[in-house]
């Protein structure tokens, strides 16, 4: 870890480095999954999902920055290359052979739910380590992930 005048204990910053390092990979992976859906969605209701997936992408990219910049502020080094993301992401592989908006909504819904769950675990871990700022950051990310999930799943729920 890099030297910093941040007053959190070094062991807390070290724990946060490990915790924070995993989530940008998931968020970057989720970001690329949203673009996969955005670019490839087809069907009679194309425009709504196409625009929604782009909005979700923007929200996820904002989360990537929040998490990675917190990591760097704590003395860590954000690992955001494609290879680092592939080795660290905990999200399931996005299906490349789907086209229908509902299929993309189902796939993105699963990815958003998985991401949200991991972020909620991170909230508790950051709080337990005594870093309320990182817990708060993850809480913000969690709220947006839940809202994105709601918006995506709404396209599926009317058909149930």
Domain boundaries, the chain: 10-157
Could you give the 3-state DSSP secondary structure of residue 42? strand
**Whole-structure pTM value:** 0.92
Angle at 10 between CA 15 and CA 80, to 5 degrees: 50
The one-digit pLDDT tens for each residue of the chain (160 residues) are 777 777 777 888 888 888 898 899 999 999 999 999 999 999 888 999 999 999 999 999 999 999 999 999 988 999 999 999 999 999 999 999 999 999 999 999 999 999 999 999 999 999 999 999 999 999 999 999 999 999 999 999 865 5
What backbone torsions phi and psi does residue 131 show, to the nearest 5 degrees?
Answer: -110, 85
Superfamily for domain range 10-157: Ferritin, core subunit, four-helix bundle (1.20.1260.10)
CA-nearest of 82, 52, 83 to 155 is: 52
Question: How many Å apart are CA 121 and CA 115, to the nearest integer?
Answer: 10
């Amino acid at each position: 870890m890099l030297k910093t005048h941040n007053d959190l204990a070094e062991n807390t910053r070290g724990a946060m480095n490990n915790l924070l390092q995993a989530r940008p990979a998931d968020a970057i992976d989720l970001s690329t999954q949203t673009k996969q859906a955005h670019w490839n969605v087809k069907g009679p209701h194309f425009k709504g999902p196409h625009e929604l997936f782009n909005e979700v992408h923007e929200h996820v990219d904002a989360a990537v920055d929040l998490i990675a910049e917190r990591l760097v502020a704590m003395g860590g080094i954000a690992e955001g290359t494609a290879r680092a993301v592939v080795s660290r992401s905990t999200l399931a592989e996005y299906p490349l052979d789907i086209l229908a908006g509902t299929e993309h909504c189902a796939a993105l819904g699963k990815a958003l739910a998985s991401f949200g769950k991991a972020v909620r675990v991170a909230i508790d871990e950051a709080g337990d380590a005594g870093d309320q700022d990182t817990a708060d950051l993850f809480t913000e990310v969690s709220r947006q992930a839940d809202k994105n999930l709601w918006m995506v799943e709404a396209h599926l729920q009317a058909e149930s």
